[in-house]
């Protein structure tokens, strides 16, 4: 498998507190953690790289794309959004992390506003596995705790997920659909809520395990060979 981790990579360069937690960038932490999960080739790329990190050559060689963005969603060009969505439709898997819920790519694929409530006060979150026989829950305990995370709260303006794997409980009083599965075209999409830049969630082995499972689950089953078209076809049975 060929996994590409796309990171906005701006907080880490401008905010020393974030740099202290993620000195190699969020993408670096993800790569380090995921590299222990036998996922194949893992590459990283960022918004400030050429072609905003995803030239066609790289995108077309990506089986599953992991996406972390936050403050600069609007800088992502409509062209890149279109290319990523087309690649998802063609079968590429997509794992959208945390504030990626508001990326252009995710909003385009969901067809909804994707808004939510939030509070980055670093409260405790406990994640509950509600679909323990889902492949993304393989090896994940019935519940686990992050001592500090950003609260994401309902209503989460997304379509009803095809499958809900995890719920999030927050100390401040909220519950959230924290692990959600979708399909769009031939592509599988997993959204996973933890991962604020000021907290060390991507150094947590259980979080990494969930993301690794999400990547495996999102691995393409089939890839479109041509474009999506409306096509006239001949009848296979007599139409008298």
Q: Which of residues 173-202 bind a copy of itself (CB under 8 A)?
A: 173-177, 182-188
- Pull the structure tokens for residue 61: 């060689």
State the minimum distance, in angstroms, from the CB of residue 182 to a copy of itself: 7
Per CB under 8 A, does 216 bind a copy of itself? no
List, in order, residues 6 or more apart from 210 with CB less than 8 Å away.
Answer: 136, 140, 166, 179, 192
Instruction: Determine the Cα–Cα distance for residues 96 and 38; give it in Å rounded to an integer.
Output: 20
Regarding 97 and contact with a copy of itself (CB under 8 A), the answer is: no
In the range 117-136, which residues lie near a copy of itself by CB under 8 A? 117-119, 121, 123-124, 126, 128-135
The CA distance from 109 to 212, in Å, is: 22
Give the position of tokens 């202290």.
20
Output 21 or 88, the one with its CB closest to a copy of itself. Answer: 88
Residues 139-178, interacting with a copy of itself (CB under 8 A) = 142-143, 145, 151, 153-157, 159-160, 162-164, 167-177
Q: How far is the CB of 129 from a copy of itself (least distance, A)?
A: 7
Q: State the Cα angle at 119 between 117 and 121, rounded to 5°.
A: 170
Task: Give alpha helix (H) positions in 111-220.
Answer: 205-218
Question: Among 5, 109, 180, 215, which residue interacts with a copy of itself (rule: CB under 8 A)?
Answer: 109
Residues whose CB falls within 8 Å of the CB of residue 177, separated by 6 or more in sequence, listed in order: 154, 156, 158, 161, 164, 166, 167, 168
Instruction: For residue 40, state whether it binds a copy of itself (rule: CB under 8 A).
Output: no
Which x/- pattern, by CB under 8 A, does the window 56-85 give for a copy of itself? Answer: -----------------------------x
């Amino acid at each position: 498998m060929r996994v590409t981790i796309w990171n906005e990579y701006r907080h880490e360069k401008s905010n020393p507190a974030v740099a202290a937690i993620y000195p190699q960038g969020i993408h670096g932490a993800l790569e380090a953690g995921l590299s222990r999960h036998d996922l194949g080739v893992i590459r990283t790329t960022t918004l400030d790289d050429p072609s905003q990190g995803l030239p066609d050559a790289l995108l077309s060689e990506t089986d599953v794309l992991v996406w972390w963005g936050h403050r600069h969603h609007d800088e992502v060009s409509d062209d890149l959004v279109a290319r990523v969505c087309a690649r998802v439709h063609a079968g590429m898997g997509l794992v959208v992390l945390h504030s990626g819920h508001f990326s252009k790519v995710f909003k385009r694929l969901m067809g909804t506003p994707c808004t939510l409530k939030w509070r980055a006060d670093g409260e405790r979150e406990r994640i509950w596995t509600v679909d323990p026989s889902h492949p993304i829950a393989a090896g994940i305990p019935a519940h686990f705790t992050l001592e500090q995370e950003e609260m994401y709260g309902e209503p989460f303006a997304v379509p009803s997920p095809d499958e809900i794997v995890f719920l999030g409980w927050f100390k401040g009083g909220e519950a959230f659909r924290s692990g959600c599965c979708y399909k769009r075209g031939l592509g599988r999409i997993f959204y996973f809520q933890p991962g604020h830049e000021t907290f060390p969630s991507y150094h947590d082995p259980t979080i990494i395990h969930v993301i690794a499972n999400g990547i495996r689950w999102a691995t393409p089953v089939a890839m479109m060979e041509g474009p999506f078209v409306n096509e006239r076809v001949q009848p296979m049975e007599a139409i008298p």
